[in-house]
Amino acid sequence: MNAASIAALSTSGVQVEVVPETGSTNVDLLARAGALAQPLLLVAENQTAGRGRAGRSWLSAPGHSLTFSLAWKFESGPQALSGLPLAVGVALAETLGRLGVQVRLKWPNDLLKDGDKLAGILIETAAAPGPGIWAVIGVGLNLVMPDELEREIGRAVSAVPWLARMDRDELIAALLDGLAAMLRQFERTGFSAFAARWNLLHAYQGDTVRILDRGAVLHEGVAAGVDDTGRLLLDTSEGRIAIAAGDVSLRLKE
């Protein structure tokens, strides 16, 4: 992958850097956030210590996945970021759809293909000098899933091997353009402009699901989409409730 090529193929105007290997692109950008003057996309050809939500590891193999982070400054405070992981999911899913890959969204931050995880999103924040806050949006997207890596992950995961044959610079540029367009709209409207689009892509709409916290079932009910702030709406035996993301997990009831 080539940073100059990605930047030339993109219409976003975002600065791009590519490194052959790093521990975590999110960690790298968080460390640099205080000195950044403009949005920056950092792409790693190999990421050795990728992370997911709640401290989980994101495992990937060199050449078989896309791992990147985008640092984007918001002029308002952290409260303005409510629902951002879901909006990122919409942007990625719609971009992949335009490239011929139909995916669904799992609340709050996963992309699924054929029912299995294809990509994950991790958003972290860092203080900016003066007003505003930097959001660092990390994305891991499986392109090819070697059998040995799937065994190491320990569960079924999805991949898009035919998309792996696409020029990587073009693929990254397309994803960057989708993310940048979403972020500019999100700055103006917040998540409310994305709620209906998210619900159209909801993997578990109308299914009975469980909300777990460290393995314990907190709630069970029928998934009814998300509201304008990104909370999951769950129709339970006691009525409809709204659940904020936090560190809880969603599972399809078997």
Catalytic residue of the set 51, 106, 117, 168: 117
> In this model, does residue 150 exceed pLDDT 50?
no
From CA 187, how far away is CA 80, in angstroms rounded? 8
> In this model, does residue 65 exceed pLDDT 90?
no
191, 83 in Cβ contact below 8 A?
yes
| pLDDT-derived band at 153, boundaries 50, 70, 90 | very low
Q: Is the dihedral of CA 178, 111, 216, 136 positive or negative?
A: negative
| pLDDT-derived band at 160, boundaries 50, 70, 90 | confident
Among 54-63, 126-135, 188-197, whose mean pLDDT is lowest? 54-63
> What mean pLDDT do residues 139-166 have?
68
> What mean pLDDT do residues 2-11 have?
97
120, 109 in Cβ contact below 8 A?
yes
Locate 185 and state its tokens.
């709209």
| pLDDT-derived band at 154, boundaries 50, 70, 90 | very low
Domain assignments of the chain as residue spans, ordered by start = 3-200, 208-252
| pLDDT-derived band at 152, boundaries 50, 70, 90 | low
118-129 pLDDT per residue, tens? 999 999 999 888
Of 216 and 54, the one with more pLDDT = 216
pTM: 0.88
CATH number of 3-200: 3.30.930.10
> What mean pLDDT do residues 147-170 have?
68
Provide Rg for the chain, Cα atoms. 18
Catalytic residue of the set 53, 73, 104, 106: 53
10-34 pLDDT per residue, tens? 999 999 999 999 999 999 999 999 8
**Is 73 a catalytic site residue?**
no
Backbone angles phi, psi at 7, to 5 degrees: -60, -40
**Is 188 a catalytic site residue?**
no
Q: Count the helices and strands in the chain (H runs, E runs).
A: 6, 14
Average model confidence (pLDDT) for the chain?
87
> In this model, does residue 197 exceed pLDDT 70?
yes
Listed residue (20, 180, 197) closest to 97, CA to CA: 197
Q: State the amino acid at position 14 in one-letter form.
A: V
> In this model, does residue 54 exceed pLDDT 50?
no
69, 137 in Cβ contact below 8 A?
yes
**Is 117 a catalytic site residue?**
yes
Classify domain 208-252 at the CATH topology level. SH3 type barrels. (2.30.30)
